[in-house]
Amino acid sequence: MMLGLAIACLLISCLPALMVVKNLPIFMFPGRAENTGAENTGAENTGAGEKQLQSEAETESREMGVSVLIPARDEQDGIAASVNAALENQGVDLEVLVLDDHSMDRTPEIVQQIAAQDSRVRYLQGDKLPSGWNGKQFGCKQLAAAAHYPLLVFIDADVRLKPDALQRLVTCYESLDVGLLSAFPRQETETILEKWIIPLMHFVLLGFCPLERMRSDASPALAAGCGQLFLTSKKAYETAGTHEQIRGSRHDGVKLPRAYRHAGLMTDVYDGSELAICRMYHSASEVVRGVLKNATEGLASPRLILPFTVLLLGGSVFPVGLCGLAIYYGDYPAAAVAGLATLVGHVPRVLAALRLRQSWAGVICHVPATTLFILLQWVAFINQLTGRQVAWRGRVSS
């Protein structure tokens, strides 16, 4: 009996491990980073052909132009860094639009001060939030309507772009036959729960989403993305129905790519560690509320919560307890298999720490982190059944 359970755990743990090994190389952002400005070291080693391609891409990017769109509500601590980082981008014509969603702090004042010093920045006061709309989605729709350039880059107010990010994003977007491109910024994590929980979004994406199939199959069920950083064209955005298609959603990372695919447009997602930095949450309380507010549109949905509970606990948590239990009862074959399952279950976190520069604290504490993550999914599921909603930025749904 114990050996059979250990074998089952090993098989379950192998699924995300093998998937991550396959996904990681094709998840990395295409092309190597080209340093610019003061960081331009080693450029003399670039081949003539590569320099010509880079020059052509830069020229085309300048002709196209990029509108960086930032919805903001009570973002006084980070909005200046986000806007200024976007303005430092080179190789593209750009404008930065910030929509203030009725902030109660100094967000409007900070943005207006920057706009007074740089004509590329525009401050917009958001309209009153209509019933049934999520604040971010309504803000993004207003921003897109006000944008002057044909390429739209939506970023969260806590995202700081690298100086070459927009040029690289545009070059990548124009090389792909997609309507929507997204990238995961490098996630800064300081508190314990940040280090535990936030890397799990990569674990779930890379461990259970077949990226190769996603790029060849237009099924909405394979939609994946990161709501912190999206690039699209105005034409594709309108074809997909704008953010109105996901107006009530809090989980645009999944919902927006799905809307594009429903409209017959392909989507893609890459690691954006070289392109941008983001710190999503700043405390344990924010981590918990952040997971709870998005969970019901993700793993805590009625369709996914049971299978993912089995997959995550069976491949990452149960093997540890089973190994200890087998040793206690002297079932050493079962203990050996469960021990192997434990090691295999940690492979995705080790690879992510190496390739994506994630915290090693998350690797070491993968078992309690996964346990807490699943617990939060069930709390969110129960909240949904009982009609309770988690407030974020002073709002619940709309």
pLDDT of residue 120: 97
Residues 261 and 377 both lie in one domain: no
Residues 84 and 128 both lie in one domain: yes
Separation CA 57–CA 92 (nearest Å): 10
Q: Tell which residue, 353, 355, 373, has the closest CA to residue 363.
A: 353
Specify the higher pLDDT residue, 43 or 73: 73
pLDDT of residue 397: 55
Residues 237 and 370 both lie in one domain: no
Is 184 domain-assigned? yes
Structural domain ending residue among the three candidates 216, 246, 279: 279
Separation CA 339–CA 318 (nearest Å): 11
Considering Cα of 355, then 357, then 358, then 359, what sign does the dihedral take? positive
Residues 71 and 162 both lie in one domain: yes
What is the rounded average pLDDT of the residues 338-351? 97
Tokens (6 digits) for 350: 């080790």
pLDDT digits (tens, 9 = 90+) for 24-71: 999 999 976 544 433 333 333 334 444 444 455 444 445 579 999 999
Range of the domain at 258: 54-189+208-279
Tokens (6 digits) for 133: 């709309």
Residues 244 and 355 both lie in one domain: no
pLDDT of 92 higher than 80:
yes
Is residue 29 within 8 A of residue 360, CB to CB? The reply is no
pLDDT of residue 41: 34
Q: Tell which residue, 127, 155, 137, has the closest CA to residue 67.
A: 155
Residues 273 and 342 both lie in one domain: no
Give the CATH number for residue 81: 3.90.550.10
Contacts with 137 (C-beta within 8 Å, 6 or more apart), sequence order: 243, 244, 246, 247, 248, 249, 252
Residues 266 and 329 both lie in one domain: no
What is the rounded average pLDDT of the residues 177-198? 95
Residues 179 and 307 both lie in one domain: no
pLDDT of 299 higher than 50:
yes
What is the rounded average pLDDT of the residues 331-348? 96
Q: How many domains, in total, are found in the chain?
A: 2
247-261, 288-302, 335-349, 372-386: which range is least confident on average?
288-302
Separation CA 374–CA 372 (nearest Å): 5
Structural domain ending residue among the three candidates 279, 310, 325: 279
What is the rounded average pLDDT of the residues 315-331? 95
Residues 340 and 223 both lie in one domain: no
Q: Which residues of 115-135 are buried (b: 16+ CB within 10 A; e: fewer)?
A: beeeeebbbbebeebeeebbb
Confidence of residue 77 (pLDDT cuts 50, 70, 90): very high
pLDDT digits (tens, 9 = 90+) for 106-151: 999 999 999 999 999 999 999 999 999 999 999 999 999 999 999 9
pLDDT of residue 63: 56
